Amino acid sequence: MRVLAADIGGTNSRFALYETGGLARGHVPRPQDRLCAVRLPTAGTASFADLLRRAAAEEPGLFTSPALLVLAVAGPVRGGRRCTPPNIPWAVDLDDPALHAPGMPPLPPVLLINDFVAQAYACLRPAAPDAPDAPDVLDMLDVLDGHPVPDAPIAVVGAGTGLGKCLLLPASGDGMPPRVLPSEGGHALFPFTDEREMAFAAFVRAHTGRQVIGDLVVSGPGLRLLHAFHTGQWLEPAEVAARLATGAPGADADHALPHVLSRILSWFARFYGRVCRDYVLETLALGGLFISGGVAAATPALVTHPAFAEAFRQSDTHADLLRAVPVRLVRSPDAGLLGAALYGALHRPTH
């Protein structure tokens, strides 16, 4: 079956057409499974219909033969038909007449899911040893060792334009696909712990006029705010990440960076570790933690820095439990596409 997968994020939207027969049978994804693909800036589109129109104009092959379209969108899905993403200025409404207006590409049956449901499904597929650099094969980095509990829930947390969280539940053994519980936990208030961090919280509040939620702290915009707080310079998140990545492969970052950049790296790693720790404790995700999202994928030092591990394992009551949770970083930028395709292969509508 051919599935058109779409990963609609606050910054970029990606589309790819997959042949999913092998995926549905549990095979390792192969480079040739992806037939064509296109990437567009989300911010440059006026509506969801406009985004689809532009994608079809960029790559007409996307819409010529799919049996199913799986839309993974960064926001809460309502009734399987509508999503109002918090970081995108328009909604996705499958009942919008504009989707069937003249000039629109023909749409197959559609499944609408949260973007982190797709991220979780991607984590179900291992990398192919004969094609580790292929765009649709997951590139993973072991961040922290551990001893996962068999059949326990697995947490997926990731910073991109916002902060995503979801819980992957093990398959029940009755032939049904795994369940994923989406979350809007990135919009919960962020937990700051001391006066210096409270000063940063006040800075964020002053410059955004909003409650200081995880979406504003552990995210690309959060990285920009943290850099401005420590330096007074307002740079785009990608520029900040590039500065942090220079000479900062991981645990030795503090010795390779100027002092202020070292401090920014340490703070962000600590915030990231804290968010991951809290979610693991809240859900008892003893099967492990996957970190996804573009921020750490582009700059792995943000989670390989010692401050991440220290914050993740810091607990007066459950330090031993946290030390047993393995942590892996998903470095593949198109993991959401692969996960959406796999979701479609396993949830094809029967009517």
The DSSP H or E segment spanning 17 is strand 12-19
DSSP letter string over 117-160? HHHHHHTTSPPPTT-TT-TTS--EEEEE---PPTT--EEEEEES
Q: CB of 293 within 8 A of CB of 160?
A: yes
End-to-end Cα distance, the chain: 15
Q: CB of 162 within 8 A of CB of 74?
A: yes
Which tokens hold the place of 38? 């296109």
Q: Which of 68, 16, 38 is nearest to 346 (CA)?
A: 68
CA distance 13 to 269: 27
Flag whether pLDDT at 311 surpasses 70.
Answer: yes
Flag whether pLDDT at 351 surpasses 60.
Answer: no
The Cα diameter of the chain in Å comes to 61
User: How much is the pLDDT for 245?
Assistant: 83
Flag whether pLDDT at 81 surpasses 60.
Answer: yes
Residue whose pair of structure tokens reads 């027969």 in the numeric block: 21
User: How much is the pLDDT for 34?
Assistant: 85
Task: Please report how the helices 220-231 and 195-208 are oriented relative to each other, as an axis angle in degrees rounded to 10.
Answer: 110
User: How much is the pLDDT for 178?
Assistant: 86
Q: Could you tell me the pLDDT band of residue 38, with boundaries at 50, 70 and 90?
A: very high
User: How much is the pLDDT for 127?
Assistant: 52
Q: CB of 15 within 8 A of CB of 48?
A: no
DSSP letter string over 43-110? GG-SSHHHHHHHHHHH-GGGGSS-SEEEEEESS-EETTTEE--TTSSS-EETT-GGGGSTTPPP---E
Share of the chain above pLDDT 70, in %: 89
Q: Could you tell me the pLDDT band of residue 248, with boundaries at 50, 70 and 90?
A: very low
What pTM was estimated for this model as a whole? 0.91
Question: Residue 179 is which amino acid?
Answer: R
Higher per-residue pLDDT: 339 or 35 = 339
Which tokens hold the place of 72? 């993974």
Residue whose pair of structure tokens reads 């989670």 in the numeric block: 303
Q: Where are the beta strands (DSSP E) in 20-108?
A: 34-41, 68-73, 77-78, 82-83, 92-93
Flag whether pLDDT at 255 surpasses 60.
Answer: no
CA distance 106 to 60: 11
Average pLDDT, rounded, for the chain: 90
Burial (CB count within 10 angstroms: exposed 0-12, middle 13-18, buried 19+), residue 58: middle
- Beta strands 154-159 and 163-169 are antiparallel
List, in sequence order, every residue forming a beta bridge with 155; answer none if it has no partner. Answer: 167, 289
Flag whether pLDDT at 116 surpasses 70.
Answer: yes
* Residue 132 main-chain phi, psi, to 5 deg: -65, -20
pLDDT in tens, 159-202: 999 999 999 998 777 777 889 999 999 999 999 999 999 999 99
CA distance 19 to 3: 7
Which tokens hold the place of 50? 């406009």
Q: What mean pLDDT do residues 234-246 have?
A: 92
Q: Rg of the chain's alpha carbons, rounded to an integer?
A: 20
344-to-12, 39, 79, 292 alpha-carbon distances in Å: 21, 20, 17, 20
pLDDT in tens, 316-325: 999 999 999 9
